[in-house]
């Protein structure tokens, strides 16, 4: 959670700094971030496969299989990042403009996107490496590295974006440079930790095709889940832009507020659930795995739910840290309150998705998110907001219903489906047995 707090604080700083430039700069960063989620989703997907196999093999004592799974996942991530680097270099501005952005927004967003995509391979390594170590039970090393790198990122954003201490005022470009540099630093330090004796995990020569196949089998639904969520946000953002730039800027700020105060908790619970469930299954104890999955979800409801209520109460005050434009503040406050009210159910979805991921079951979370994003987040928002003419109210309703639906689907699956047998079968296939 500490690691995620600093990562989220870095993105919040980006929004605060760019808001000092103009609402157009906020929209440019927000639209570019839509594309930046594609490499993020691939990194998280491969990281999901890595944490599943890493936690199970740690629980069973099969360290050789664990190290090979980690190495293969890292190599896949590096290769998958290269096309993004090329896309950002040649098509960055075009990619922003096709969303309906103005020429100025497209120019700013294209510059930022080119810088972020240039380090996509490093971003993949950072995500996969962190989750690989977390799967072994080591959540401190990724925290130390990410806190250090994100502190550099925050400092770089402020100094380069605003031109302080004699540095040039690079504005949006400076924000992008700081983020790209942090990606490289994070990846390098994580690789160094695994190469040295600092961590239990290490590298191994990739040889076992069964491990590679299982990584792909577990990671693909996670990647698809992320892609569906990201793709749904393109028309969603275009819908909001149709209601006005202030509405879209308010959405970007309101969601950023929510992600800053509740996102680190939810993501921390997701990782914790993956680790404890995966290691319990590796130790051939499915009953413990089931109990701990529900326990993490319950803890998420209590803590994230309380923070969400506080966000609802204090949204109007917090929003003014990001913008003083009255119209933007109005919509940002409304979006922040919607996200705050949805905090508890989102915690259930994220925690139980993490638990299922630890059991190598990533298909149900994919179905839950795909149906929630397409049917409610996008579908209800468009129907109520555009067709029925209620404007941003449709978006508020679509966001809340999508998270409720996703939580219900994964809760049903965690209770009713036979995910423990699936994990046992996959461990048997790759030779990871509980007696080591």
Residue-wise pLDDT for 67-76, tens only, equals 999 999 999 9
Give mean pLDDT, residues 280-296.
Answer: 95
In a domain, 435, yes or no: no
Nearest to 258 by CA among 175, 302, 354, 322: 322
- DSSP string computed for 304-336: HHHHHHHHHHHHHHHHTTT---HHHHHHHHHHH
Residue-wise pLDDT for 49-63, tens only, equals 999 999 999 999 898
In a domain, 82, yes or no: yes
In a domain, 436, yes or no: no
Q: How sure is the predictor about 434, in pLDDT bands with cuts at 50, 70 and 90? A: low
Q: Quote the mean pLDDT of the chain.
A: 90
Given a contact cutoff of 8 angstroms between Cβ atoms, the answer to whether 128 and 77 are in contact is yes
Question: Taking 50 as the threshold, does the pLDDT of residue 203 lie above it?
Answer: yes
In a domain, 235, yes or no: yes
Residue-wise pLDDT for 333-387, tens only, equals 999 999 999 999 999 999 999 999 999 999 999 999 999 999 999 999 999 999 9
C-alpha dihedral over 350, 356, 361, 365, to 10 degrees? -20
Residue-wise pLDDT for 393-419, tens only, equals 999 999 999 999 999 999 999 999 999
How many Cα atoms are found within 13 Å in the side-chain-facing hemisphere of 387? 7
Q: How sure is the predictor about 253, in pLDDT bands with cuts at 50, 70 and 90? A: confident
In a domain, 295, yes or no: yes
CA distance 164 to 216: 46
Helix (H, G, I), strand (E, B) or coil at 87: helix
CA distance 398 to 336: 14
In the 3-class helix/strand/coil scheme, how is 187-251 assigned residue by residue?
HHHHHHHHHCCCCCCCCCCCCCHHHHHHHHHHHHHHHHHHHHHHHHHHHHHHHHHHHCHHHHHHH
In a domain, 160, yes or no: yes
Residue-wise pLDDT for 120-131, tens only, equals 999 999 999 999
For residue 415, what are the contacts with CB-CB under 8 A and spacing of at least 6? none
Helix (H, G, I), strand (E, B) or coil at 20: coil
Domain count for the chain: 1
Full residue range of the structural domain in which residue 80 is found: 2-429
Q: What is the DSSP letter of 418?
A: -
Please tell me the pTM assigned to this model.
0.83
Given a contact cutoff of 8 angstroms between Cβ atoms, the answer to whether 360 and 423 are in contact is yes
CA distance 301 to 351: 9
């Amino acid at each position: 959670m500490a690691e995620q707090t600093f990562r989220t604080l870095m993105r919040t700083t980006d929004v605060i700094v760019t808001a000092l430039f103009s609402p157009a700069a906020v929209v440019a960063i927000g639209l570019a971030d839509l594309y930046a989620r594609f490499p993020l989703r691939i990194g998280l997907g491969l990281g999901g496969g890595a944490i599943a196999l890493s936690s199970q093999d740690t629980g069973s004592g099969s360290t050789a299989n664990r190290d090979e799974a980690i190495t293969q996942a890292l190599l896949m991530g590096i290769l998958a990042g290269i096309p993004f680097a090329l896309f950002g270099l040649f098509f960055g501005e075009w990619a922003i403009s096709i969303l309906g952005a103005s020429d100025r927004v497209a120019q700013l967003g294209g510059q930022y996107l080119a810088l972020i995509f240039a380090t996509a391979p490093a971003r993949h390594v950072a995500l996969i490496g962190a989750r690989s170590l977390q799967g072994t039970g080591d959540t401190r090393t990724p925290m130390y590295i990410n806190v250090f790198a994100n502190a550099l990122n925050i400092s770089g954003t402020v100094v380069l974006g605003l031109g302080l201490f004699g540095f040039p005022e690079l504005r949006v470009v400076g924000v992008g440079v700081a983020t790209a540099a942090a990606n490289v630093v994070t990846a390098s330090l994580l690789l160094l930790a695994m190469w040295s004796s600092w961590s239990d995990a290490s590298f191994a020569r990739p040889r076992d095709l069964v491990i590679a196949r299982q990584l792909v089998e577990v990671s693909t639904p996670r990647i698809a889940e992320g892609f569906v969520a990201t793709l749904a946000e393109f028309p969603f953002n275009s819908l909001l832009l149709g209601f006005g730039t202030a509405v879209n800027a308010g959405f970007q700020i309101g969601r950023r507020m929510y992600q800053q105060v509740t996102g680190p908790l939810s993501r921390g619970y997701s990782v914790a659930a993956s680790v404890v469930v995966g290691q319990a299954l590796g130790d051939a104890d499915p009953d413990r795995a089931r109990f701990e999955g529900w326990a993490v979800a319950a803890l998420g409801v209590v803590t994230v739910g309380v923070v969400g209520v506080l966000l609802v109460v204090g949204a109007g005050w917090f929003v003014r840290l990001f913008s003083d434009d009255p119209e933007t503040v109005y919509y940002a406050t409304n979006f922040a309150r919607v996200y705050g009210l949805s905090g508890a159910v989102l915690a259930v979805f994220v925690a139980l998705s993490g638990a299922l991921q630890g059991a190598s079951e990533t298909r149900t979370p994919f179905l839950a998110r795909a149906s929630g994003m397409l049917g409610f987040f996008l579908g209800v928002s468009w129907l109520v907001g555009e067709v029925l003419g209620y404007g941003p109210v449709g978006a508020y309703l679509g966001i809340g219903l999508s998270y409720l639906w996703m939580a219900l689907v994964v809760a049903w699956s965690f209770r009713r489906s036979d995910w423990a047998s699936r994990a046992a079968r996959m461990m048997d296939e790759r030779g990871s047995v509980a007696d080591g």
